[in-house]
């Protein structure tokens, strides 16, 4: 079974579905879920922009909220080991670097994220992770 799973979370419903799949996969196995949100230093989009507008939060606090909300919305059981990570930089690169440094045996991403182009089948972050990862990647396509 997988022992260390890195799930990439960007504040989208796709990413919540990725976390839900991780929960199903790991329930009762003792695996650790590493939830990673990367601040790509771009103007905030969609729900993140709304959050920033509604409350006076720093960028760090916004990404903390993204992770907290993923824990709640994906209903991660309280007995699951969870580590929350925030990094700054190119999202795909940080996902790959972090997967290496924690020794993840699986990376889980959503098929799409907060991007606006509805016709895109696979987002650029999930595509880059799929191309370059050294461990298995699960793309959650709902
Ligand atoms: N900044 C981020 N931090 C962590 N994970 C991310 C980030 N951006 C994307 N991801 C992960 O990659 C998945 C796919 O998102 P991606 O950004 O590739 O698609 P998109 O936003 O629809 O398209 P694009 O960003 O290319 O316009 C997300 O569901 C999430 O798992
Ligand atoms: Mg995106």
Residue-range definition of the domain harbouring residue 110: 4-140
pLDDT tens sequence across 93-137: 999 999 999 999 999 999 999 998 988 899 999 999 999 999 999
Nearest alpha carbon, ligand 1 atom 15 = 113
pLDDT tens sequence across 52-63: 889 989 999 999
From 9, 10, 35, 111, mutation site for ligand 1 pocket: most ligand atoms within 8 A of C-beta: 10
pLDDT at 76: 96
Q: How many CB atoms lie within 10 A of CB 136?
A: 11
Ligand 1 mean position, distance from CA 124 (Å): 7
How many domains does the chain divide into? 1
Residue 59 DSSP SS3? helix
Ligand nearest to the CA of 8: 1
pLDDT at 118: 85
pLDDT at 45: 84
CATH number for 13 = 3.40.50.620
pLDDT for 87 beyond 90: yes
- pTM across the whole model: 0.97
Close Cβ partners of 13 (under 8 Å, ≥ 6 residues apart): none
Asked if 70 contacts 12 with a C-beta cutoff of 8 angstroms, the reply is no
pLDDT at 1: 87
């Amino acid at each position: 079974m997988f022992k260390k799973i890195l799930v990439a979370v960007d504040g989208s419903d796709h990413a919540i579905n990725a976390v839900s799949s991780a929960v199903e996969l790991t329930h009762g196995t003792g695996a650790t879920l590493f939830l990673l949100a990367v601040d790509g230093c771009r103007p905030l989009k969609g729900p993140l922009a709304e959050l920033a507008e509604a409350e006076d939060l720093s960028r760090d606090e916004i990404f903390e909220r993204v992770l907290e909300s993923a824990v709640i919305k994906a209903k991660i059981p309280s007995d699951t080991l969870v580590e929350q990570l925030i990094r700054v930089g190119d999202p795909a690169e940080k996902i790959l670097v972090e997967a290496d440094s924690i020794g993840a045996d699986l990376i889980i991403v959503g098929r799409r994220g907060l991007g606006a182009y509805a016709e895109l089948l696979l987002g650029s972050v999930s595509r880059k992770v799929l191309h370059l990862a050294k461990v298995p990647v699960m793309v959650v396509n709902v």
